[in-house]
Amino acid sequence: MRNFDEHNITDEVVAKVGQGDNPRVRQISQSLVRHLHDFIRDVEPSFEEWEAAIRFLTETGAMCSDTRQEFILLSDTLGASMLVDAINHRLAGNATETTVLGPFYVDNPPALELGSDISGDHEGTPMLVRGSVASSTGEPLAGAVVDTWHSDDEGYYDVQHYDQGGGVSLRARFRTDADGRFRFWSIVPKYYPIPDDGPVGRMLRQQGRHPYRPAHVHFMIGAPGHEKLVTHVFVAGDEYIDSDVVFGVKDSLIRELSHHPAGTAPDGRTLESDYAILDYDFVLSPKPA
């Protein structure tokens, strides 16, 4: 076939990309072509706009490095990451809700003893984080792996300081005790902007949006026989709690910090300044049979 126009080209392209042997590749390719062509017919871009779109994607790829993933930021800020997460975590019952992984996770963080302080040399309000991990039937999950990471008091993650000689901090891996409980010390995190000095930041400004995420602590929790949980716990009252740039906030994941004067903390640690406590109990979903 030849002589394609805006009306007949889509069916021909759909037929051509559907010739492979893999049915899933056929499904994805054909659906992509249909939606992409419908989008183009809807917005009717000029040549200049289409070239600008290609430059935008090129610059997005060029911005990626070992410590920055601009395409994840793009996916997050367009709500695509949360949509994919929601489709893949249609959890039933009382399982803890999921949210996006984000671009700052690091494989194999330091494994520390329960009660350790992960704040390193960062200043800020001390924070005791306590919680538990259980199955959907309420059984405590001993030995569950709890990865955690969060920003500092100025809204930065340790990976953002690696090129300045900074080391690992504000992240660690723990295992729950015999009762399925865990605890560690850190500092109260702060809201922060996603990296907005690249093409995604320019996109947000053109859309009239801010780049901020509300203060939160990341968790990745795994236990045998259960689905791995990736989620955040958000600090209640944060000014960006209702306008998270990556659309990740859920009511069930918001918790109030309890604030306490200097003295002896519940785990016996003596503090010379006021401190906060963050409590959250996680429930893992069982793996399908």
Report yes or no on 109 lying in a domain.
Answer: yes
* CA 281/CA 16 separation, integer angstroms: 51
- Domain identity same for 7 and 98: no
- Domain identity same for 12 and 135: no
Contact residues for 238 (Cβ-Cβ < 8 A; gap 6+): 191, 214, 215
Domain count for the chain, please give it.
2
Domain that holds residue 272: 74-284
- Domain identity same for 35 and 112: no
Residue of higher predicted confidence among 68 and 95: 95
Report yes or no on 234 lying in a domain.
Answer: yes
Are the C-beta atoms of 282 and 134 separated by less than 8 Å?
A: yes
Question: Which band of pLDDT confidence, cut at 50, 70 and 90, is reported for residue 121?
Answer: confident
- Domain identity same for 6 and 93: no
Q: pLDDT (tens digit, 9 = 90+) per residue, 174-184? A: 999 999 999 99
Report yes or no on 118 lying in a domain.
Answer: yes
Residue of higher predicted confidence among 166 and 261: 261
- pTM value? 0.91
Question: Which band of pLDDT confidence, cut at 50, 70 and 90, is reported for residue 119?
Answer: very high
- Domain identity same for 131 and 224: yes
* CA 283/CA 131 separation, integer angstroms: 11
Residue given tokens 């903390």 in the structure block: 265
Q: What is the CATH number of the domain that holds 182?
A: 2.60.130.10
- Domain identity same for 33 and 173: no
- Domain identity same for 95 and 196: yes
Q: pLDDT (tens digit, 9 = 90+) per residue, 1-51? A: 788 999 999 999 999 999 999 999 999 999 999 999 999 999 999 999 999
Report yes or no on 2 lying in a domain.
Answer: yes
Mean pLDDT of the chain, nearest integer: 94
Report yes or no on 158 lying in a domain.
Answer: yes
Report yes or no on 68 lying in a domain.
Answer: no
